[in-house]
Amino acid sequence: MPAVTPTLQLDDAQLMAQYLRWEQLGQEGDTEAIDANQVRHWLAHMPARLSAVTLAGWGETLSNLAWVTIEDEGASPDGHLLVAFLEYAVKVPLHVWLAEDENWVAPTVPYEDYENGYEEPPHARSAYDGFLRVLRMLSFSSGAGPHPMLMAALHLGWEPTSLLDHLDGAREIQRLYCEENAHHRSEAPPTSLTAQAFLLEGILGAMATSTWRPNNRTHPVWEGLWNSHVHGYYQETEAIGELALHGAEQRRAAEAALVAFPHFKGQAMQAYLDWRQLRVKLIAHRFFPLSAQHDNGLAVLVPLLSAWLKKDGTNPGATALCHQLVQQHPAVAQLLEMHCSFYTQPNHALRDAPSLLDAYQSALGLDQDTPLSIAHLDLG
């Protein structure tokens, strides 16, 4: 079904009044009182405007639909409604999504509360809050994988690359705003805070539980799949009953991302060294064998060299990677050992990694039974 282009049928006052009614029902936990078909009707006629009220209402209304349908069996019929929202989201400038509400007023509190450490809450950004709630709802389901509505949008052909790239342009502002909100509520800020984080987590869940893969797999924004500062998908769940199920999904997601995005193997390897939760989900031999055609750049050489420098230390990821390297690419292992023997400071060995690149490419092309020799090194 093609995406619905929203048409102007509602003014902001009508939209906000209806949204507030649904929000009240949601806060009371009364999902049965929310008519999903009525929500669908409103979404199909949602006005495409840049006002904060419209964007907030659209996002919150869509998240309400996601909430009341999360346990529905079978494929979601609402993918086209989600596609309409997500495609419009890319057209909305980031400063509009992240604008502070014009009518926001700080709560009135006694002066003595400030003396006792009270901090004024961050200015509300209702458009972004609505957007955030949609992507949070889409990132999980009542079973395995992301929300059925996200799966439906992906199967309709929606490509997330453009939206991820759009959100990446305001990564730091999103993070600061979400951290301020968590701090004001006296909550420890979770790793997954931002709209960008929840979208990446939904995508990882989709790759773990289906054959769907994005078309554009070389765009730099996909490096975020391996960035622990961007999302927290590999965090252990606190729900004991869901631990085995979610852990298996995380393992499949990590393996799928490694295969689907070979362009970012170096970033994945560095994440394996730095991100303990990822090491639990991904086995070192999945990185091997290295390809002489695709893994011959500094992006892979640098984490390999970093691992070699740590192989006798306390990083189990480094030990595991080096064990596989010795088994499958002994000439590369010999080259790294020779390079490191020239330095007393590990950071200096890493600094000079570019000087090793030509020799690394030569060693990578050797088969397992051919030892490294001076003839393979360009010492000219």
- DSSP letters, 59-127, are HHHHHHHHHHTTT--SS-S-HHHHHHHHHHHHHS-HHHHTPPPTT--PPP--HHHHHTT--PPPPP-HH
Q: Where are the domains of the chain?
A: 12-289, 290-380
The per-residue pLDDT for 57 is 82
Low-confidence ranges of the chain (pLDDT < 50): 1-8, 106, 109, 111, 113-114, 118, 240-241, 379-380
C-alpha 74/C-alpha 129 separation (Å) is 29
* Joined tokens for residue 305: 């060299």
The per-residue pLDDT for 74 is 83
All residues at 6 or more sequence positions from 80 whose CB lies less than 8 Å from its CB, including other chains: 1, 2, 3, 4, 156
DSSP state of 4: P
* Joined tokens for residue 153: 């949008």
The per-residue pLDDT for 189 is 55
The per-residue pLDDT for 236 is 73
pTM of the model: 0.86
Do 80 and 111 form a contact (C-beta atoms < 8 A)?
no
The per-residue pLDDT for 118 is 47
Do 208 and 260 form a contact (C-beta atoms < 8 A)?
no
